[in-house]
A = this chain, B = another copy of it.
Amino acid sequence: MLRSHTCGELRIENINENITLSGWVQKSRDLGGMTFVDLRDRYGITQLVFNMETNANLCEQARKLGREFVITVKGLVAERSSKNAKMPTGEVEIIVEELSILNKAKTPPFTIEDNTDGGEEIRMKYRYLDLRRNPVRKNLELRHRLSIATRNYLDKQNFLEIETPYLIKSTPEGARDFVVPSRMNPNEFYALPQSPQTFKQLLMVAGYDRYYQLVKCFRDEDLRADRQPEFTQIDCEMSFVTQEDILDTFEGMARHLFKEVKGVDINEFPRMDYADAMKYYGSDKPDIRFEMKFVELNDVAQNKGFKVFDDSELVVAIKAEGCATYTRKELDKLTDFVRKPQIGARGMVYLKCNEDGSFKSSVDKFYSQEDLKAWAEKMNAKAGDLILVLSGDTDKTRKAMNELRLEMGTRLGLREKGVFAPLWVVDFPLLEWDEDSKRYHAMHHPFTSPKKEDIHMLEEKPGEVRANAYDMVINGVEIGGGSVRIHDRDLQKLMFKHLGFTDEEAQAQFGFLMDAFEFGAPPHAGIALGFDRLAAMFGGSDSIRDYIAFPKNNTGRDVMIDSPSPVAKEQLDELFLQMVKKGTK
């Protein structure tokens, strides 16, 4: 070992020990007679001292050390005269007796500090330098601790981690696959898994009972902010369970992780129907760190001559407590906010509940004080509160109101990073209508079981059939989701039929799974949690990219290694492929 200790380890107890440290030069200060060097490694920073009087030669060498040089020093641990209480090693320094430069360093293109001067692009190109910064290192350490704690929890619950293949089969259902041409099977392709879904179900058919895997998954999607073409899932499946058992087990896991990794005690997760989530929060992933539930005002706000409301399918409001003092300017800003194209409301109506008991609204000419009082009562509003009202088509209006609610939550400081409010959203619809393809798609995936009591509606009202599907939501972010699966061949065939598969297509793509269901498939259910997102949530960040060692940019490129890149013609020849120039196909 080129060190006896790490740079984060030495304390006052080590005084007078002869030690060896190795690391990077964080900075050096030349005070004439003395030169101080901060030596950094993964574990911390230790101060090195070089004294011109006692060892001029060594001190001269130290003065020439540049930032990020890699060095090894031997020396004596001494008590500092001016201690630094902010550093764990702040009571000691090393009186250096020997110095070796292990590697020099060019000046880095940005500073290796908590707050760097480097922009996103340059930091991605030199990701290995960005990774040296404390905040980034802490993110990856957090991720490591999360994975250890996850595995320990599941291991104790008798789950087996079983690796499923990465070279699998392309299926047109769902998102777009990355494909991998096979050289040994010309003109045929593997696909990279979007999830190990069918394999984990086959493991249940195989009797493995409790499966998990921390596994990379792949989706060739146009990347929105905070999507990566490859991402990591905590993928789980259990047999002989009901939905309730899955919720218990993985709620238990989440609480274990919060306790182990963050030291936070989390209460039992509330459960909310999908229908209620949409009705009261306008979202299937409500942020319940704060209340501010939607209240529907159709009965009190319609038929008073205000055409906008009268023509609306939904009139819905939220109450911002204590905000009756909002100025005209502030209210205009909120109106501008809801009118943004990505939110899409036509306008916003407000109602101030004044301290004197009177009401002031933007639609005073249509409503009497009495009318407005009825609104306020319905909202449970008190003097000083502000009521914000949107109206229009139900779905669009709920969506817009969800955005307004989140915006108000942020403005009022109700969405604190350190507060965690998880819940289960349950009873999702089985199918959702897709306007583009004019057919129903599986909302979760085609293997999700419908609720028994709703199956009779599959023919007549497919959109109303509910699924045994659930999402884990924390602070308005979908952390994971799953479902009770179909384990019966006939029901699975019926499901494929409703999704527009012919029998032949279903058999060609998923025949192996339906065949497996004929040989004794147990009832089973599972869940997959987004591990990158879970890590970001634990770290208090909105960006998963900060929790991935080597992420890709928005066009799917790794700018550090410059990938993807062209390959040699011979490689394509071996694969029986040729390229079509863009624009000529």
Interface residues of A (CB under 8 A from B): 1-3, 22-24, 40-43, 68-70, 72, 102-106, 108, 126-129, 131-132, 137, 140-141, 143-144, 147-148, 151, 155, 160-170, 172, 176-192, 198-199, 202-203, 205-209, 216, 218, 220, 222-223, 229-230, 232, 240-242, 245, 487-488, 512, 516-523, 548-550, 552, 555-558, 560-568, 571, 573-582, 585
Contact = CB atoms under 8 A, between A and B. Distances in A.
Contacts of A23: 207
A159 to B, nearest CB: 9
Most buried by B among A169, A222, A519: A519
A165 B568 contact: no
A131 B187 contact: no
Contacts of A106: 518-519
Contact of A131 (B43, B102, B207, B521): B207
A252 B104 CA distance: 33
Given A103-B523, A163-B548, A191-B563, 16 more contacts: A22-B522, A42-B209, A68-B519, A102-B522, A127-B202, A132-B207, A140-B162, A162-B549, A165-B550, A165-B558, A167-B218, A180-B192, A576-B580, A576-B581, A577-B577, A577-B579
Contact of A179 (B162, B164, B575, B581): B575
Contacts of A562: 169, 512
Contacts of A137: 207-208
Tell me what chain A mostly uses at the interface: helix, strand, loop, or mixed: loop
A502 B516 CA distance: 54
Contact of A203 (B70, B131, B207, B522): B131
A563 B242 contact: no
A143 B163 CA distance: 10
Contacts of A176: 183, 571, 574
A108 B565 contact: no
Given A164-B549, A242-B2, A520-B105, A555 B229 contact: no
Nearest to A167: B230
A209 B575 CA distance: 39
Nearest to A109: B519
A491 to B, nearest CB: 11
A306 to B, nearest CB: 48
A443 to B, nearest CB: 24
Contacts of A144: 160-162
A520 B68 contact: yes
B161 A556 contact: no
Contacts of A571: 170, 176-177, 179
Contacts of A69: 520
A582 B576 contact: yes
A436 B218 CA distance: 38
Contacts of A165: 230, 550, 552, 558
A9 to B, nearest CB: 11
Contacts of A245: 1
Nearest to A202: B128
Contact of A487 (B103, B160, B240, B556): B103
A151 to B, nearest CB: 7
Contacts of A161: 144, 147-148
Contacts of A549: 162-164, 199, 203
Contacts of A108: 519
A152 to B, nearest CB: 9
Given A184-B556, A519-B68, A216 B170 contact: no
B102 A207 contact: no
